[in-house]
Amino acid sequence: MRRCDRFIAALALAAVFLCAIVCCVSDLAFRTIARSFGCGLAFAEMISANGLVHGNKKTEKLLSTSPADRPLGIQLAGADPGTIGRAVEKLRGRSFDLLDINAACPVRKVVRRGEGASLLKEPACLAAILAEAVKRATVPVTVKLRTGWDHTSRNAREIGRLAEDAGVAAIFIHGRTRAQGYSGDVDYAAIREVKNAVRVPVIASGDGLSPRLVTF
């Protein structure tokens, strides 16, 4: 769960704690249970912009939702502004409230395609992707970051500013580098640096293991 202000642009959140996206877990059943515990915003599982554009059946299944499944975020992974733009167009007419661009996924097959966390190493490409999504989306666009690619390149503050300039409505940040994967301590100071550098809401993610930690 992640802590957040009550609004992302004009989108009112049902609570300050939001449900982090977990691939292969965040399906409709999981989201329904999370909402019953007071989660203020839930995301469908990350989908490939390329898969969406090409009408992949699995991608379609990942987008299953219900009228009670709101507010709902959809997260896209992609490496190319044109493909992201076409994917955003494909989402037109669907019921969802927020579009997130993934610049955080550490998985090798994802970063090898230039998607996910590898976008932290390609700021110009990420800026173009975000600008394209903002231009075409009818809902607020957000971005999910890590603190950097590795400990020698912690650039989340610069990326956060660039994302804000591209028009994102909020920044989600998993407080580990790509090199850390899902282990090691979360760097809350790095998340705070991003928060201090931008005006849009910054939502911290990681190590939410106790009530004391999640209300820091």
Ligand X SMILES: Cc1cc2nc3c(=O)[nH]c(=O)nc-3n(C[C@H](O)[C@H](O)[C@H](O)COP(=O)(O)O)c2cc1C
Which active-site residues does the annotation give? 105
Does position 205 interact with ligand X (CB under 6 A)? The reply is yes
Cβ burial of 144 (10 Å; 0-12, 13-18, 19+) is: buried
Q: Which stretch binds ligand X (CB under 6 A): 14-22, 62-70, 85-93, 129-137?
A: 14-22
Cis peptide upstream of residue 67 (ω within 30 degrees of 0) = no
Question: Which SS3 state, helix, strand or coil, does residue 37 take?
Answer: coil
Measured distance CA(26)–CA(162) in Å, rounded:
29
Does position 193 interact with ligand X (CB under 6 A)? The reply is no
Does position 203 interact with ligand X (CB under 6 A)? The reply is no
Contacting ligand X (CB under 6 A), which of 31, 86, 144, 154? 144
Measured distance CA(175)–CA(110) in Å, rounded:
19
Instruction: Give whichever of 127 and 145 is closer to ligand X, judged by the CB atom.
Output: 145
Beta strands in the chain (DSSP E): 2-3, 7-8, 11-12, 17-18, 42-43, 47-48, 72-77, 98-103, 141-146, 170-174, 202-205
Q: Which stretch binds ligand X (CB under 6 A): 8-16, 21-29, 58-66, 153-161?
A: 21-29
Is the CA virtual torsion 213, 106, 149, 76 positive or negative? negative
Does position 86 interact with ligand X (CB under 6 A)? The reply is no
Beta strands in 47-181 (DSSP E): 47-48, 72-77, 98-103, 141-146, 170-174
Residue 19 tokens read as 């449900």
Min CB(144)–ligand X separation in Å = 4
Going residue by residue from 150 to 189, which x/- string records binding to ligand X, judged by CB under 6 A?
------------------------x-------x-------
Number of residues that bind ligand X (CB under 6 A): 16
Q: Is 8 left (phi over 0), alpha (psi -120 to 50) or beta?
A: beta
Does position 75 interact with ligand X (CB under 6 A)? The reply is yes
Instruction: Give whichever of 15 and 188 is closer to ligand X, judged by the CB atom.
Output: 188
Contacting ligand X (CB under 6 A), which of 13, 18, 21, 126? 21
Residue type present at position 82: G
Contact between residue 92 and residue 138 where contact means Cβ atoms under 8 Å apart: yes
Min CB(128)–ligand X separation in Å = 20
Does position 101 interact with ligand X (CB under 6 A)? The reply is no
Contacting ligand X (CB under 6 A), which of 70, 123, 208, 213? 208
What does the binding site for ligand X look like in residue numbers (CB under 6 A)? 20-23, 46, 75, 102, 104-105, 144, 174, 182, 205-208
